[in-house]
C-alpha cells in the first residue's frame, strides 16, 4: 500500500533523528572543570548544560528563545463517565488560553516564553481567531471501549501536526521547545498508554486526574481495563497503542517530540499526559532520549513509570497536576539558567583565580 504524505513525513522525521555525540558531552564536562566553581558544585545544572552543548553540536549556542506549544483535543472515552467535568470545558479552556486567563498564560508570560495553542482534536466548534492554530484532524476521538480511538490515517495526521509545529518553531528561531496539552478526560488515555507500555496493572498507573471521586475513579479504571482487553491483540508497538487507546493531542505531542529531536533542539515534556506522548516517541525512536528533558514529577501515579521508560530524571517536584505545559514553563527557566552559567561564567584562567591545590590537600 502506498504511503500517505503524513505517513511519509513521519517516517522521514524518525529517520532524521541522530544520537548526540558522546565526545561532545566529554568536552562539556571538561569545560565545567575550568569554570570558576568547585567541580560539580552546580549539581544537575551542569548535566543540563552539558546535554544542551552536545545537542547543539558543540557550537556556540543559546536557549534564550523558548516556545511552548499546547495541543488540545477531546476524547470519546468520556462517554464512560471517567471525568467529573463536561467535555465542553476543553473548548472553553482553549478560549481561556486565547484571553490569557489560564495558568500557562501567567507562567509563560512571567518566564518570557512564547506560547502557541493548537486545536488538533477539539469537538468545538471554536471561533476563528489568529491566536489558535487550527489543525483539527477530527472532532474528538472515538470511545476506545468500543472501537480504536483513531483510524491509522488520523493518527498519522495528528503526528504530522506535531512535527509541523516543531519545524515551525525552529524556522522561527526558537532554540528551546516544550509542549503541553488540554483535553477533558485525557488522563484516561494517558493512563491506558502507561499500562500498555509498562505492562503494569491498570490500578497502579491510574490516578484521580482532575479530582475524580471514588465512583468516577472506578469507572475510569474499568474503562481502561475494558479498552486494553478489547485491543489487546493490537497493542504490540507504540503506533498501535497510540491509535487504539491514545488521543489526537497525545499523537500531536508525540510528533512534536520527534520533530524537536529531528531538528536537534532540547525539548521539555510536562506531566502525565505529555509524558505518555514522549514515552511513545522514545519507543518509536530511542534516540529521542538524548533530546528530552522531564520538567517535573506529577502527582499522577502513572507518571513515574512513564518517566522511567523514557530514562529521564525530572528537574522539579512541586506537586503539580494541572497540565497545560505549566511545569515546562517553570523548568525552562532552569535550563536557561544552566546554559547561562555554562556559556557566561569565567574560567579559572580568564579570571586569574587559583585552582584547587591537588598536591597539598588540607
Q: Would you please indicate which residues are annotated as catalytic (active-site) residues?
A: 324
Separation between Cα atoms, residue 260 and residue 167, nearest integer Å: 7
- DSSP letter for each residue of 110-172: HHT-EEEEEEEE-SSPPPP-TTEEE---SSS---TTTS-SS-HHHHHHHHHHHHHHHHHHHHT
Closest CA relative to residue 231, chosen from 154, 156, 142: 142
Separation between Cα atoms, residue 159 and residue 333, nearest integer Å: 28
Torsion-angle region of residue 173: left (phi > 0), alpha (psi -120 to 50) or beta?
left
Contact in structure between 205 and 191 (CB atoms under 8 Å): yes
Residue 132, CA distances (Å) to 48, 96, 126, 265, 312 in order? 32, 11, 9, 24, 31
Separation between Cα atoms, residue 10 and residue 167, nearest integer Å: 12
Separation between Cα atoms, residue 179 and residue 177, nearest integer Å: 7
**Residue indicated by cell numbers 522531564:** 294
Dig out the grid coordinates for 357 from the structure.
Answer: 591545590
Backbone phi, then psi, for 164, in 5-degree steps?
A: -60, -40
Contact in structure between 317 and 261 (CB atoms under 8 Å): no
Burial class for 36, CB neighbours closer than 10 Å (0-12, 13-18, 19+): middle
Amino acid at each position: 500500500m502506498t504511503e500517505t504524505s503524513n505517513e511519509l513525513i513521519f517516517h522521514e522525521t524518525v529517520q532524521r533523528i541522530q544520537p548526540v555525540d558522546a565526545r561532545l558531552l566529554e568536552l562539556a564536562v571538561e569545560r565545567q572543570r575550568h569554570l570558576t566553581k568547585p567541580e560539580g558544585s552546580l549539581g544537575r545544572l551542569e548535566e543540563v548544560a552539558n546535554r544542551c552543548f552536545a545537542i547543539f553540536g558543540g557550537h556556540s549556542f543559546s536557549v534564550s528563545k523558548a516556545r511552548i506549544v499546547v495541543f488540545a483535543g477531546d476524547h470519546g472515552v468520556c462517554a464512560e463517565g471517567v471525568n467529573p467535568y463536561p467535555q465542553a470545558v476543553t473548548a472553553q479552556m482553549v478560549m481561556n488560553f486565547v484571553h490569557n486567563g489560564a495558568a500557562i498564560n501567567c507562567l509563560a508570560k512571567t518566564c518570557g516564553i512564547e506560547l502557541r495553542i493548537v486545536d488538533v482534536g477539539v469537538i468545538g466548534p471554536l471561533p476563528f481567531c489568529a491566536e489558535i492554530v487550527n489543525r483539527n484532524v477530527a472532532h474528538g476521538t472515538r470511545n476506545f471501549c468500543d472501537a480504536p480511538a483513531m483510524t491509522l490515517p488520523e493518527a498519522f495526521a495528528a503526528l504530522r501536526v506535531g512535527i509541523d509545529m516543531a519545524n515551525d518553531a525552529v524556522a522561527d528561531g526558537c532554540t528551546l521547545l516544550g509542549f503541553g496539552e488540554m483535553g477533558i478526560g485525557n488522563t484516561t488515555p494517558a493512563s491506558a498508554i502507561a499500562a500498555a507500555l509498562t505492562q503494569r496493572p491498570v490500578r497502579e498507573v491510574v490516578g484521580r486526574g482532575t479530582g475524580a471521586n471514588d465512583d468516577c475513579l472506578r469507572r475510569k479504571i474499568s474503562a481502561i481495563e475494558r479498552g486494553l482487553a478489547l485491543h489487546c491483540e493490537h497493542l504490540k508497538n507504540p503506533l498501535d497503542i497510540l491509535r487504539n487507546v491514545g488521543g489526537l493531542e497525545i499523537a500531536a505531542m508525540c510528533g512534536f517530540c520527534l520533530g524537536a529531536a529531528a531538528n536537534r533542539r532540547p525539548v521539555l515534556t510536562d506531566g502525565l499526559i505529555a509524558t505518555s506522548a514522549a514515552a511513545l516517541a522514545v519507543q518509536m525512536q530511542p534516540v529521542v532520549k538524548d533530546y528530552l528533558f522531564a520538567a517535573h514529577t506529577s502527582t499522577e501515579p502513572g507518571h513515574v513509570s512513564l518517566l522511567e521508560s523514557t530514562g529521564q530524571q525530572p528537574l522539579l517536584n512541586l506537586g503539580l497536576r494541572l497540565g497545560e505545559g505549566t511545569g515546562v514553563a517553570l523548568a525552562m527557566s532552569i535550563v536557561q539558567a544552566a546554559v547561562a552559567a555554562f556559556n557566561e561564567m569565567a574560567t579559572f584562567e580568564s579570571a586569574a583565580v587559583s585552582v584547587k591545590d591537588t598536591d597539598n590537600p588540607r
